Chains A and B, each alone.
Chain A
Amino acid sequence: MSRVGAETVLNAALAGLLLVAPLTALGLGEPYYANLASRVAILALAGVGLNLALGQGGMISFGHAAFFGIGGYVAGISAQAAFNGAAVVSWPLEVMGSNVMPPIWAAAMLVAGLVAVAIGAISLRTSGVYFIMITLAFAQMIYYFAISWPAYGGEDGLSIYVRNGFPGLDTYDPLSFFLICYGCLMLALAFSWRIMGTRFGAALMCARMNPERLATVGIEPYPVKLTAFVISAMITGLAGALFADLNGFVSPSMLGWHTSGEIMVFVILGGVGRLFGPVAGAALYVLLEHVLGGLTEHWQLLLGLILLGVVLFARGGLVGMVTGSARHG
């Protein structure tokens, strides 16, 4: 029990640190660091999504960039349409563009979720290396589709001229924007934590540990995994929408396999299946990128070494290393 306690303390510390850091930075008149914290929160959110599929469900998706990018494009396309006063969809019913975050998030999650139903339904018929490859292939298909679609910027991407708004907040204020991202992250973490304790969570974890056992007690692993895959994609899609607003820009690179790899790195660095693993992973990633990226272009070399170390010597990731337990999930 003391180990579980240690992880809870660490989680609280990570949540507190992520909140205090930008507040301190703003107090010191350094808004840049608040944006950096927003970046950590958004990337962590994308990782929280993947962690549900990868960590809890054992589905090694190498295609989560698809959902991240779709979330981004939904935000971008909606903002562009709202800016031009045009409809996003004109048939079968007219859907006007919106420049308000909550409806954009709902749309981003809906579209990412629908695409995940299609990708998951096919990919989950396979497992192991084939699952990894097929999710990658689907994501690359969407990537090339985005590149070849001139209406939404093609290879050049799509600019969001005015950051989408949030009722009652000035989203251009770095602190307000950070708090929005942080709030989304905390909600997603609370949701993940809660869901893993339910019947669905129990079935999902068993589907990872031993699908044969799950089937033997009368529970089909496939629909359980598919549902988790879709929820996972929706969370990552939400992160994509926020990421687009953070950068004021959506590019096809959000959909590329590099992005899938990065999201996976957050999860693995932090600790696969650990609730706050993606938070720790994304924070370390952004810190390395910022600190070492200023010194050398080859900062990812060090990232690679750290990743290698974690995979070889600390299977529980950063969270497992600090709490001293190798427990998975």
Chain B
Amino acid sequence: MAEPVLEVRGLCKSFGALKATDGVSLTLEAGEIHALIGPNGAGKSTLIAQIAGQLAPDAGEIWLGGREITGLSVAGRARRGLGRTFQVSSLALEFSALRNVMLAVQGRRASSFGFLKPVMRDRRLVDPAHEVLARFDLEGRAGVTAAALSHGERRQLELAMAFALEPRVLLLDEPMAGMGAGGTTALTRVLAAMHGSVPMLLIEHDMDAVFALADRISVLAEGRLIFTGPPEAVRVSAVVREVYLGGEG
């Protein structure tokens, strides 16, 4: 098997006596959607924050595309190809949808120390941004400020920005959070369409979406990874039922 695109090795993070991440190792293979599930407080957000670079782990390593990124900043990791979305949308709210995506294109393709050329006349930024917006059904909202977009549109925009980075890996932190049933179905379709083009580590509470999308599912409980396997195996796993799906199954 080829080398995994993203690999987490023995990651640990404690807050005082609480072990939020307790020796977590996982991989993300080329083209797959790997879902990470677990009850509230299992340490999913802490894990994502360490992979993205917002939190420094106490121990362990993170490798992206065969290079260690454990010591890199958030921006450094993004430049190496780590795209992400946030649980609570994080956008430049005063910018239009187009300018938000342009910023991602800029981060990917151009230096931010351009002092002469107006961005709106820079086709290297504007054209790819329009293409990405069209792909995420936001073309009609290109000129609307992010602050004026609906909740669902903001989620779409975040995804569009992550996609515009042309990432090697996407970390999706509860992309369905706060979406209605219709929105969840639509977003599941969008993610399914992206399946295969970029590997995704998907944190999600919506089990329908998880089982519809994931190639593999890992279950996190109390900071430890207790199970990794294909969706069918997760469904029938006794240990997973006990800590997580028990109430529902």
A and B from one assembly? yes
Task: Assess whether A200 is interfacial by the CB under 8 Å rule.
Answer: yes
Q: Is the CB of A216 within 8 A of B119?
A: no
A216-B84, A217-B104 given as contacts; is B74 within 8 A of A198 (CB)?
A: no
Task: Give the distance to chain A from B153, nearest Cβ to Cβ, in Å.
Answer: 16
The docked-state distance in angstroms from the alpha carbon of A35 to that of B102 is 46
Could you tell me if B103 and A217 are in contact, using CB atoms closer than 8 angstroms? Answer: yes
Residues of A within 8 A of B117 (CB): 198-199
Assess whether B207 is interfacial by the CB under 8 Å rule: no
Q: How large is the interface on B (under 10, 10 to 19, 20 to 34, 35 or more residues)?
A: 35 or more
- Interface membership of chain B positions 208-238, coded 1 if the CB is closer than 8 angstroms to chain A and 0 otherwise: 0000000000000000000000000000000
B110-127 Cβ-contact flags toward A at 8 Å (1 or 0):
111111111110100100
A258 CB–B CB distance under 8 Å: no
A281→B141 CA distance, assembly (Å): 36
A227 to B104, CA, bound (A): 20
The answer to whether A219 and B112 have CB atoms under 8 Å apart is: yes
A172-212 residues at the B interface, CB under 8 angstroms? 194-195, 197-203, 205-206, 209-210, 212
- Mark the stretch among B20-28, B85-93, B184-192 that contacts chain A: B85-93
How many contacts A-B (CB < 8 Å)?
Answer: 104
Beta-carbon contact of A206 and B110 below 8 Å: no
How many Å from the CB of B51 to the closest CB on chain A? 13
Contact assessment for B119 and A209 in the assembled complex, using a CB-CB cutoff below 8 Å = no
Q: Which residues of B contact A224 (CB under 8 A)?
A: 112-113
A224 CA / B114 CA spacing, docked (Å): 11
Q: Given A218-B75, A218-B165, A195–B92 Cβ distance below 8 Å?
A: no
B107 on the A face (CB < 8 A) = yes
Give the A interface residue count (CB, 8 A): 28
Q: Which A residues are in CB contact (< 8 Å) with B86?
A: 216
Query: Cβ of B73: which chain A residues have Cβ within 8 Å of it?
Result: 215, 220
CA distance A62 to B17 in the complex (A): 41
Q: A217-B108, A218-B165 are in contact. Are A210 and B118 (CB under 8 A)?
A: no
Q: Chain A: which residue is nearest B102 at the CB level?
A: A202
Contacts of A213 in B (CB 8 A): 90-92, 103
B244 close to chain A: CB less than 8 A = no
Chain A residues in 8 Å Cβ range of B106: 199, 202-203, 217, 219
Contact of A215 among B75, B94, B118, B125 (CB under 8 A): B75
Q: Which residue of A lies closest to B79 (CB)?
A: A218
Find A209's partner among B75, B92, B116, B120 (CB 8 Å cutoff).
Answer: B92
User: Smallest distance from the beta carbon of A208 to chain B beta carbons, Å?
Assistant: 9
- The reply to whether A219 and B115 form a contact with Cβ atoms under 8 Å apart is no
Contact A217 B107 (CB under 8 A): yes
Task: Pick from A194, A195, A202: contact of B103, CB below 8 A.
Answer: A202
- Residue in A194, A210, A218 whose beta carbon sits within 8 Å of that of B78 in the complex: A218
Q: Indicate with 1 or 0, residue by residue over B43-79, a CB within 8 angstroms of chain A CB atoms.
A: 0000000001010000000000000000001111011
Give A contacts to B, CB under 8 Å.
194-195, 197-203, 205-206, 209-210, 212-221, 224, 227, 327-329
Q: Which 8 A-B pairs have the closest CB atoms?
A: A217-B107, A218-B78, A199-B114, A218-B107, A215-B74, A203-B112, A197-B118, A218-B79
Q: A199-B110, A205-B92, A221-B75 are in contact. List 8 more A-B contacts (CB 8 A).
A: A198-B117, A202-B95, A202-B99, A206-B92, A212-B54, A213-B92, A218-B108, A220-B76
